Amino acid sequence: MTTDGGDDLSALGPFRDAADRRVELRPCAGPDDRAPLAALYGCFDAASRAGGVPPAAPPALDRWLDVVLRFPSVVAWHGTDAVGQVFLAPDGDGHELSVFIDPAYHHAGVGGRLVDAALALAAARGGGRVGVLTRGDNRPMLALALAHGFVVTGTADGQVELARDVPAAE
Ligand SMILES: CC(C)(COP(=O)(O)OP(=O)(O)OC[C@H]1O[C@@H](n2cnc3c(N)ncnc32)[C@H](O)[C@@H]1OP(=O)(O)O)[C@@H](O)C(=O)NCCC(=O)NCCS
């Protein structure tokens, strides 16, 4: 499932990242975004593949994209290049948030903007619990989640689970 026109993300707008690149956020266009997203994930280094996700190459990457492209999602663009994606996987009554940024764009504020966008998307879809699952040594993701109101709800096998409630948009 991609966004269906009912998600008002217009307030997010384009922005300049920490390296003064003009980055634009747009709801994922589904299959039309497949090629740029495959190119994005193809450039990830091993350190950016949290627990083997996203898969490094076809056909596993294709199968993973088949699933991800059905989720509510926002993509960050620099020109015609997809440089990041956040998506909300259905998880019980709520969602699990995952966010991936092109390594060349790390620590420039794009992840933070995408998490903002995902929380707005969750609110537009009625709110509820949003969770994050990440490795305990993933300092950037932990800092990002904690800065966006998530709290740690559990740890196991080197993984940390965080969650927050999102109120429904009015
Ligand atoms: C985790 C990730 C999404 C962060 O995205 P990002 O665009 O680099 O994050 P931002 O630039 O918006 O930074 C947000 C905050 O994260 C923290 N952060 C980002 N990079 C960091 C780094 N290298 N070291 C420590 N903290 C870092 C900071 O607290 C930062 O806030 P600040 O700018 O006020 O210091 C990105 O590193 C990534 O794609 N990692 C690989 C994939 C992954 O692990 N995804 C998580 C799966 S759920």
Are 27 and 86 in contact by the 8 Å Cβ rule? The answer is no
> Which residue minimizes the CA distance to atom 9 of ligand 1?
111
* Closest CA relative to residue 135, chosen from 160, 116, 156: 160
Q: pLDDT tens for residues 43-100? A: 888 888 877 889 988 899 999 999 999 999 999 999 999 999 999 999 999 999 999 9
Confidence (pLDDT) at 79? 97
Fold of the domain spanning 15-166 = Aminopeptidase (3.40.630)
- How are beta strands 94-101 and 128-135 bridged, if at all? parallel
Task: Please state the atom number of ligand 1 nearest to the C-alpha of residue 47.
Answer: 41
**What is the 39 CA–ligand 1 centroid distance (Å)?**
20
- Give the separation between CA 92 and CA 51, rounded to whole angstroms: 22
Confidence (pLDDT) at 1? 35
- Domain definitions of the chain by residue range: 15-166
DSSP character for 168?
P
Decide which of 63 and 6 is more confident.
63
**What is the 107 CA–ligand 1 centroid distance (Å)?**
5
pLDDT band at 7 (very low <50, low <70, confident <90, very high): low
- Over residues 150-166, the mean pLDDT reads 97
* pTM of full prediction above 0.85: yes
